[in-house]
Structures are given as C-alpha cells and as structure tokens.
Structure 1
Amino acid sequence: MPIAYDATRLFLGPLSLTPRGIDRVDLAYMRHFFQDSDEDCCALLPTAWGIRSFPRERVLRGLARLEELWAENRRPDEDEVWVRLKQRLQGEAGVMHRRRGNAFALAARMTSLLKATGIGFGDDVVTSLKPGTVYINVGQIGLAFPILLRWLDRRRDVRPLFMLHDVIPLETPEYVAASAVKGHAAMVDQTARRAAGLIVTTGTAQTAIEAELTRRGAPALPTLTLPLPIPAIFREPADPDPALAGVPYFVVCGAIEPRKNHLLLLEVWKRLHRRLGAATPHLVIAGAMGWQGRHIADRLRRSGELAPYLHLVNGLSTPALKRLISGASALLMPSFIEGFGLPVVEAAAVGTPVVASDIPAHREVAHPATVFVDPIDGPGWEAAVLRLADGSGAPGRLSADFATFTWGEYFATLSTFCRTIEAGSCRS
C-alpha cells in the first residue's frame, strides 16, 4: 500500500523547544510508517517549487535530528528544567518558566535539521505518487492552509485520510484566538471537500466533528474512532523522585490558555493558603504558552505570598514529566473543554489520582476512580484538593492495568482502516 505522509508539522518542529501533544502523535505516526512499517512510504513537504515528495532515508535522518533537538528521551537527572523545578519544590521560592529560544537559536535549529536531511528538491508530488496512494495528514497544517492541498485536484486517485483532533475553536470560540477559529473552519471545509476517510480520538470528538461536517453538507465519511495510546514509558512502573517524598505537590499539564482553566486553580490555591499557611501544597503548572498564556502567567507571577508554592514550567522531557506525575498527590485537569485529555490517562497509568473537570471527553477516557468536579465549582475543587492533600480522601494509587493499549495495537487497527480507504473509489 503506497503511503504519502504530510510531514509539514514535524519539519517545523525545531521552532519549538519541546513538542506539544499533537507533535508527539505526528512523530509516532512517522516513526511507524518510516521506521517500523514495510509500506511504500514517502513524506510530503511544501517548498518554493510546490509540494514535493521525499524518500524514507532522508525522512529518518530528519526524525533522528529532530528528536535530538527536542531531547525527549534524556533522563530526568540530565534535564535541567527538572533539576531546577526539583530545587524549587525543595525550598527555593518563585515561579519559574523556560522561555522560547531567540530567533537566532531557532534559525540555527532549523539549519541543523536541513543539514541532517541534506538539501534537495524532492520529486513533484503530482507525477511521482503511485496510483491509489493513501495521503495521510495528522499534523493538520495542510488542512488549515488549503493552498497546500490544491495538488489533490490533479490527483483524483489519491485517497486523503485526515485526522481531526477536535473542533474546539468552532464549539467554543471564546476560548481561542480568532485565527484558530478561521483555521479550524478551513480544516473542516477541506475535510468535507476532500477526505476519503477520517481518524478521530474519541466518540465525543467524533460527534462534534460530524456535526460540523453535516452543516457543510458533506456525506458521511468512513471514520476510525481510536483512542491515543500513552507513551510506552508511562506503562513502566511509577518512579517518583525520593528527594521529593516529603513534598506535597499537585500537577496540571497542558498548554497555558483560557480553556485549560488555570485561573480557577489560582483562586483555589489562594483559599488553600489562607487555610493552610506554610502547609500549602505546591502546584506545578507544566505546559507551553498558548493563546493569552502570558496573561495567565503574569497572574501567577503576581501571586505574592503564593509564589513559593506555584511553579510554571515548560520543556520537561517525557521521562521527567513521568517522574513529576508519579510523585504528585494528584493530577488536576479543570479544562472547560477537551477533545481527548491525554494527561488524565497518563497519570492514571502510573497510579496517580486524578481530579478532572466533569466534561464528556474526560468521562470517556478517564480511569473509573477519577474524581470529577464541575469546571466552575471552585469550592468543589478546593475540597477535592484538601482531601487529597491530607490523605483523608485519597483513593490510593490507582491500578497499574489501566491504559494498556499500545502503539503497536493502535497501528495494526489503523493499517486495516487504511486498506479499506485504499480500496475505495476515486474522489469525484
């Protein structure tokens, strides 16, 4: 089965110091198709000469360099962000955050990726793809910029398979930038117009996406609803840091943006501090800056007496993130809306209690022992944190047999679906 994989998002990966959730999914897909699979694969990238295809060996060199730049697999004791955070948790006061690299540093990272892959023109996508190729787009950048998909008009035999993670900007535009609303509208428009099949991560997301497609008059698409597996390291035993054994802390993970509801936790921690004083537990907020994230970060930095208990971090490696979550009193996830909510699954997999907002996506993917609280119920969140902080309401470490679905099983299911897409009729 010939596969053409859209590599645009990962090609731009060096512009981020560390990957976000969608980047990690994109990377897992590319590792599968170009490293583990024997399918006939090429990668597609936009260039000054149009969309071009590039061979497996160049893709693998690029992926290896990107993983070096992201340093995703370094041990926690080699992760300077983790080392600094641990020092703060052990007594050094203040909110910390790892800032983005400057323009020169980011340009150097992009240059190093190009050096690893080698400079080349690639092949014209219209003339080089084999008949009946399945075109897979997980990173969504091409969907948001329709000009990048115009080549499909000249190759009606190609079978486009798109992943839509959610349509949150269309459901709740008040939580995102206007550009995100426009971009997601374009994604759904392109899916309605071009897709031969669709991949989604939850039934919740599928319902919302199908409603948007129906509004555009699109026919029902073959759809694979398949939850995302957690990284393999989260299926290994929990490894809390012994140095933090006597330090009570909670963790919230995800982009720092309004829909994640960080400011609710700030108000909760203010009340906790009035009640507990020096016994206030720490709150670690791990995530990259999203829309209006700097406003939220500024509120946290101006928290006065709370400063020793609030820690804003970005850039943790996956092993360090696992160690952080493993030692937490609980993971907190007060989001107003989610398409999936991977941190609640990762935390439960290492046995860490979870308090999550009572929203459909969390209900669908979370561990049965998850404590659900309405995202606007401040007193409810305060009570849940208090019970977990003093141990009176802790459910204990969660079972280790949660979230056992592996990437191998995931891609076996995906492969079957891809073959049904390949066997479909050409687009009209």
Structure 2
Amino acid sequence: MHGAGTKTAITTARDFPAIIDITRLTSRVGRGPYTGVDRVELAYLEWCLATDPDLFGLAKLSDGFVLLDRGGLSAFHQKLTGQVVWGKRDLRAVVGLKTPAPRGAAESDLRRLALRKFSDIPAAFRNFVPKGCRYLNIGHSNLSERVLAGFARADIAPVVFLHDVIPVEFPQFQRAGTAEAFSKKLVAMKEHAHCIITNSQDSLAKARAALDGRDRGMHFAHLGIDVPDNIMDVSRLNRPYFVTLGTIEPRKNHALLLDVWQELEDHLSEEIMPDLYIIGQRGWENVDVITKLEVLKDHPRIHEHNTMSDADMWPLVAGSHGLLFPSHAEGFGLPSLEAAALNVPVVCGDLAIHRELLGDYPVYANVNDRYLWQKTIIEQAEKRLEDLRDACAKNTPHIPTWDEHFVRVNGAVMGST
C-alpha cells in the first residue's frame, strides 16, 4: 500500500528495447516507505528486468546523467530492494553536502555502474542504444522540455506514464509553484511524448482535457494490485478499529477524520470507542492537521505511524473494520483496491475513479458531510467483523494484476507508431 515489500509477479512480454528512467527511485533512497508513484516505477523496472529485449537505465544525478546497461540496472535493483547493501560514498557524494548520505551512496553506486555519463541528452545518444528504443518515464522526474525533446531529437520515442493531473485540477492542495511547474511538464508531454499511458479511464479523460484535447497515442491501463498471500487476518484489539493510508497532505483530508474522532468521544463510551490508525508520512502545506496531530499525539484512540513497515501494516489493515479514504481527489487510489482485495470494507468519497474501479463495493460518503462519516463509522463499528467480511466478499470488484497492466502497455507502445 505505502511501501515496498510485496514481490510483483510479472510474466508479460515486452516487445521493444527500452531506456527506463530510475531518477525518482534513486531520489527515494533513505526516505522511508514508498509512495504509490514510487511503487509503480519499481513495478516497471521489474517488468523491464524480467523481459528479454535490450534494456538500459537512465538517472539524473547531482552531476549529470548516467546510462546503465541491463547488468547495472539489475545491480541497482538488488540494492534498492535490500538484497545487496549500498556501497561507500565516493568523493563527489562526500563533498556534496546538500546530498543526504543514503542518496549519496546510491548516486555513488550509479556512477560506478554507469555505462556512459552525459551532461545532457544529445542526439548522439542514439549511438548507444538499438534502433526502436523507447524512453520510459514513469515517475515524472525529468519530465521536462529539455529531456523529452532531447530523446525525440535522438529518435528515441518518449513514453510517459501520467499518474494524474491533480496539480492543475486542484492547485489549492499543492505546494507553492507546483501547479505552474506541472503545467510545464504537460506542455513538454504534449509536444514530445510519443505515447502517454494513464492509470484509468477517468485519468485518461482528464489528461486529454489538460492536453487540449490530444487523442493521439493516449491509452489507459489499470495498475496492478499486490497483496501478500499469508496475511494473518486478526484484530489486534478487543474493539473495532479503522485505518487510513496515505501521505498526510491536504488533499487526503485527514482533518475530517480527526474531527470525527473527537466528536465520537461525545457519543460513544470508552468501552466501544473505535481506534483510528493513521499510516503515512507527513507531507506539506498542512499546518493545521500537523498541529492537531501534535495536540492529539497522546490520544488513546488515535495512532499515527509515519514509517510503519509492510510486515506490520498488512495485518493491521486486514484486521480492521474498514479503510477510510476521504480524499478530495485521487488519480487511482491504490489503498482502496488493496483493501478490497482483502475483503476489508472501504468508506470513501464519491469520486469517479472509485466508481470506475470499485463499483458498488465501498460505502460512499460526501467528504464535506462530517455527520455522515460519523454515522457510517459507528454503523460499521457495531457490526461483527465476520459479517462485514462476508458482505464484502459477495461484492468484490475485479482486482487488476500487473500482468494485465503490462499487456495493455506493451500493446499501446507497439501500436503507437
């Protein structure tokens, strides 16, 4: 849900040589559990490594770009997933005081693994890769005029995964300058991307609108869902509890849940008051919620976990009375589908993406109606866990797989000529 730890099983063919951008994964080294975007980029890296055509990796480091071959990418993946430890920081990383030590170690290893180093993406880049090679940008790092135009000039077709257009749809939930910077990325994509993949039909429609009606080379493919097979589906408490997952940022609407839990204290006795587990790193532009979390840090029924491991997180979700997902906007909403794969109830806002992926599975509640959320949570808490699971099992939506995703992606890339 929020971090690495579940092996992605991929057998789908890849019928084109590729250069995959691993800049975002490199930047995440040492920064805690992965976000949804990180996990998608990791899934693409594992797909590329599991398939036969020629493969290269690209990373933008503090001193320029490095190009890796398949062997270098495989070594990077082993270090990224903890199978092999990172090496020592080189002189460049040591003197780069602004580079955190874990990322410095990762960049040092990438420099040692590099096939070539570049200060830019020159037209001569085509000389190092086979004809028909595609550049895969999954994590939005290097999604710029400079990089996309550079690959286009080198006759290497850029393929971009566009997760969502939330920064321009909802600028009020972004850090200062984010919407403007994202608008520039959209312009670069419109001008130079050969193929654009989105994660849903909803995201595809919004992407077309944001790209001024572009239709050429636009496709969608639902993301795959990874759920461990051996989760212990047991409650850790003698009372009901609920879980919410995601970065603690304004768009995720944690404020609603904190308000609801404080009001529940006025309506429920201590014995039947449910617990709330908030799992996710603290984000940005969210002073009011962070302040409230600090005030409530000793609250006996509200528990914040910023670095919870997958090993602890999965059983906690599986044993809960529900996943609460009151986001104002979502590009895909991985946690809701992952909860559904476990037959865990979902309470969420009535967003088009939820309707597309989950159908009638969740309880939909207006994210501006605090009373409705309070009422729904009480109703869910009063039900037996077994009854909730049985009801969910009868209404489970289709849970997409990574193989299904990559079949569509491979077809889209090969069909975009």
Q: TM-score, normalised by structure 1?
A: 0.82
* Identity value in percent: 27
Give the AA of the match of 1:231.
Answer: D
Query: Cα distance 1:238–1:8, how it changes in 2: closer, same or farther (>3 A)?
Result: same
**Aligned partners of 2:66 and 2:110 also within 8 Å:** no
What is the SS of the residue equivalent to 2:347?
Answer: strand
Query: How do 1:22-37 and structure 2 match up within 5 A?
Result: 22-34=37-49, 36-37=50-51
The residue number in structure 1 matching 2:411 is 416
Which residue number corresponds to residue 161 of structure 1? Answer: 159
**Cα deviations by residue, 1:116-144 (Å, 9 ceiling, x for unpaired):** 5561553353431322211111110111x
Q: 1:300 maps to which residue? A: 293
1:354 positional shift = 0.7
Instruction: Select which of 233, 236, 250 maps to 1:258.
Output: 250
CA RMSD of aligned residues (A): 2.7
The whole-number CA distance in structure 2 between the counterparts of 1:382 and 1:158 is 53
Q: 2:199 aligns with which of 198, 201, 208?
A: 201
The alpha-carbon distance between structure 1 residues 174 and 117, as it changes in their structure 2 partners (threshold 3 A), is closer
Report the counterpart of residue 387 of structure 1 in structure 2. 379
1:328 aligns with 2:320: yes
1:270-328, CA deviations, whole angstroms, 9 ceiling, x for partnerless residues?
A: 11111113132111111112222454122122138x71111111222333322111011
Residue identity matched to 2:355: R
State whether residues 369 and 395 of structure 1, in contact with CA within 8 Å, keep that contact through their aligned partners in structure 2: no
2-side partners of 1:338 and 1:411: how far apart?
Answer: 22
More helix by share: 1
In the superposition, relative to structure 1, how do residues 219 and 396 fare at CA in structure 2: closer, same or farther (>3 Å)?
closer
What are the Cα deviations for residues 161-197 of structure 1, in whole angstroms up to 9, with x where unaligned?
1111111111111111123212321221111111111
Q: C-alpha displacement at 1:224, in angstroms? A: 2.0
Unaligned runs of 5+ in 2: 1-15, 86-95, 119-124
> Structure 1 residues 121 and 150, CA, compared in 2 at 3 Å: closer, same or farther?
farther
- Correspondent of 1:56 among 63, 70, 79: 70
Match of 1:141, SS state, is coil
Change (3 A) 1:334 1:258: same
Larger mean Cα displacement after TM superposition, 174-183 or 48-57 = 48-57
Bigger mean CA offset, 245-254 vs 264-273 = 245-254
SS of residue paired to 2:215: coil
Deviations 1:198-219 (A, max 9, x none): 11111111111110101xxx64
Q: Which residue of 2 aligns with 1:287?
A: 280
Query: 2:364: which partner in 1?
Result: 372
Structure 1 CA distance for aligned equivalents of residues 253 and 188 of structure 2: 31
Once structures 1 and 2 are overlaid, which stretch shifts more, 384-393 or 173-182? 384-393
1:15-38, CA deviations, whole angstroms, 9 ceiling, x for partnerless residues? 41221110001001001102x111
CA 1:297/1:53 → structure 2, altered by over 3 Å: closer, same or farther? same
Q: Do structure 1's residue 13 and structure 2's residue 28 form an aligned pair? A: yes
Q: TM-score by structure 2 length?
A: 0.84
Following superposition, the deviation at residue 245 of structure 1 comes to 4.7
Count of aligned pairs between the two proteins: 381
Q: Describe the superposition over 1:147-171 as per-residue Cα deviations: whole angstroms up to 9, x where unpaired.
A: 333422531x221111111111111
Paired residues for 1:180-195 under 5 Å = 180-195=178-193
Distance in 2 separating the partners of 1:142 and 1:382: 43
